[in-house]
Amino acid sequence: MADFLKQQGIINAINLDGGGSATLVLNGTLASYPSEHCSFDNMWRCPRSISTIMCIHEPACEPADCSGHGVCVQGRCNCTGEFWRGPACDILDCGPSNCSLHGVCTDSGCLCDAGWTGSNCSEACASGFYGDACTQKCLCQNGALCDPVHGACSCPAGYYGTSCEQACPMGWYGLNCQKLCACEHMCPCDRVTGSCNITYELAIQDQLNKAGRCLASRSKDKFSLSERTWIAITIMLTLLLAISALGNIGLFLKARSERQHGSGDYLYHPLREMNGEASHTSACEAEDAQDQSQALL
C-alpha cells in the first residue's frame, strides 16, 4: 500500500488497515508500525480491531486559482485557453514570433497593428487595402502606392493629386510634376521621363493638331498685318528721305549760286567816308540847301 501511495505522488497520507499494521507516509518518508500485543498474552501480536481508513491531502497550487487562467490538478496548474502559459498560467504566449513585432498578444491571439494581418501579424495589407485589420479600401489611381497604415497615396512620376487622379499639365513632368519640359519650340514632353520624342493618344493628338493650326492661323494673320504696315512705313520713310535730300540739294545749289554772283560786284567806299568826312560834308550841304530855301521865301 505504501508503494502504491508513493507512486501516486501522495505527499501526506495515513493508512490504518484492518490487518493490525499502521503505515504512515510523512513528506515522502515511510513509517510502519507493527500490530499491537494480544490482550490475552503479551507474547503474541494481535490484529488491530479497526477498519481500513485512508486520509489523502492533495498538494495545493500556487496560486490556488492558477491566476484565473487554469485548473489545479495534483498541485499543478493546467492552463485553459490557447495562449496562457507558465506554472501559474499568468504568461501570454502567442508563439515564437511574438506577433512579429507588429501587434500585441492577447488571450484571443495576436491583435495586429494597422496595416498588418495574419495569425502572427507577419503579413502586410493586400494591395488596395489599409488600416485596422486591412478592412479599408485604398482610393489611389494610376498605379499609385497606398500606405498600408494611413491609406495615403504615393503618386508615380507624371501624376499628382490626393488620389493621384490628375496627369501632369502639358509642359511639366516627373514626380509631383515639378520639372519643366525643355523641348524646342515650347513643345510638350513625356509626363513621366521628360522625353521630347513622344506620341500622344489619338484624342490628345487631335486636340494638339487643332490647337497648332489655330495658333498658326493667328500668327499668320498677325504677320501679314505687320508686313503691310512695315511696307507702308518703309515707303513713307523713303519719300521723306527723298524730299529731304532734294531740299538739301536745292539749298546747297542756291547757296553756291549766291556766292558766285556776289564775288564779281565789289562796292567802292572812299576812305573819307570811313573817317567821318562824308557825314560832315553831307551835313554842310544840308545847311546850304536850307539857307537857299529861306532866301527864296
Counting residues of the chain whose pLDDT is more than 70, the rounded percentage is 63
33 belongs to a structural domain: yes
What is the Cα–Cα distance from 85 to 67, expressed in whole angstroms? 11
Summarised one tens digit per residue, pLDDT across range 37-77 is 777 877 776 666 555 556 666 788 989 999 999 999 988 99
Pairing of strands 84-85, 136-137: unpaired
76 belongs to a structural domain: no
Summarised one tens digit per residue, pLDDT across range 158-188 is 999 999 999 999 889 999 999 999 988 778 8
Which residues pair with residue 36 across a beta bridge? 46
105 belongs to a structural domain: yes
Statement to judge: residues 18 and 45 lie in one domain: yes
Statement to judge: residues 205 and 251 lie in one domain: yes
102 belongs to a structural domain: yes
Domain that holds residue 162: 155-186
129 belongs to a structural domain: yes
106 belongs to a structural domain: yes
88 belongs to a structural domain: no
The pLDDT value recorded for residue 33 is 54
- Cis peptide, bond prior to residue 63, ω within 30 of zero: yes
Note the pTM of the prediction, 2 decimals: 0.46
Q: Does the pLDDT at position 96 exceed 60?
A: yes
* All cell numbers assigned to 169: 499639365
Mean pLDDT of the chain: 77
Domain count, the chain: 4
218 belongs to a structural domain: yes
* All cell numbers assigned to 92: 501570454
Burial class (CB in 10 A: 0-12, 13-18, 19+), 187: middle
